[in-house]
Amino acid sequence: MLKYKKLVIIGTSHIAESSLKEVETVFRRQEPDIVAVELDHNRLHALLTNKKPNYSPALILSLGLKGYLFALIGSIIQQKLGNIVGIRPGSDMLRAVELARDNKKRIALIDRDVRITLARLSKAIGWREKLNFLVDLFSAPFSKKMRINLKQVPEKQLVKKLLRILKKRYPGLYKVLVEERNKVMALKLKTLMENYPEQKILVVIGAGHEEDLLRLIKKKTL
């Protein structure tokens, strides 16, 4: 958990039971006025309605082939991991939203529209990253010497190591999924802090975003 002025940031795992408990514990202790979550309107609607993702091939026109495939493969992997631990992907964000609603707190959606992110991915992933993906299917660099307990939020050092590998082997993907989105979320949080200077803001985001997000928030300009 990180703190800055009236801001409290916690990094979660989208399929870890421990993250649900952490969200509840921190919410009760901090008693925030605003709950900011790593969601956009489309993903929040899908979580609230328990709507299954629609990956019709028609989406290729708006998302691009690479963005479409990334979303499709990512969704399948998340669902399978969620089934293993018995937790629906995104339950951490949903719990934060539920707590805010039940306690009549303001909800802030700070992530970029997922359709924009996926369309950006289609343009950012180059031939070298495609080649690396094929190589990694067999060498599995992300899993070597790494033991991950899906029921817990990964340790910070492990998250940093994974991000370093991602940045080195998939710079385009890292730029779009991490760097760009961190800037978008930081800008929205800075605006919230300026508009509601006396209100405490609880930020619930995926593990690995916290430190860079806080660094950006502290900067005078983004």
Q: Which residue has the higher pLDDT, 110 or 46?
A: 110
Q: Is the pLDDT of residue 137 over 70?
A: no
Q: Which residue has the higher pLDDT, 53 or 117?
A: 117
What would the pLDDT profile of 5-19 be if each residue is shown by its tens digit? Answer: 999 999 987 667 888
pLDDT of residue 84: 44
What would the pLDDT profile of 47-62 be if each residue is shown by its tens digit? Answer: 898 876 665 565 566 6
Quote the CA–CA distance of 144 and 140 in Å, as a whole number: 7
Chain mean pLDDT for the chain: 80
Where b means 16+ CB within 10 Å and e means fewer, 128-167 reads ebeebeeebeeeeeeeeeeeeeeeebbeeeebeebbebbe
Give me the mean pLDDT over the 19-28 stretch: 93
Q: Is the dihedral of CA 130, 134, 137, 141 positive or negative?
A: negative
Match 């070298």 to its residue by tokens: 128
pLDDT of residue 97: 97
> Above pLDDT 70, what percent of the chain?
69
What would the pLDDT profile of 77-116 be if each residue is shown by its tens digit? Answer: 455 444 444 556 788 999 999 999 999 999 999 999 988 8
Q: Which residue has the higher pLDDT, 69 or 200?
A: 200
pLDDT of residue 85: 43
Tokens (6 digits) for 104? 């009549």
Quote the CA–CA distance of 92 and 153 in Å, as a whole number: 11
Q: Which residue has the higher pLDDT, 208 or 30?
A: 30
What pLDDT band is residue 166 in, cutting at 50, 70 and 90? confident
> Above pLDDT 90, what percent of the chain?
40
pLDDT of residue 39: 94
Give me the mean pLDDT over the 128-139 stretch: 67
pLDDT of residue 203: 97
Q: Which residue has the higher pLDDT, 143 or 51?
A: 51
Quote the CA–CA distance of 24 and 29 in Å, as a whole number: 9
Q: Is the pLDDT of residue 172 over 50?
A: yes
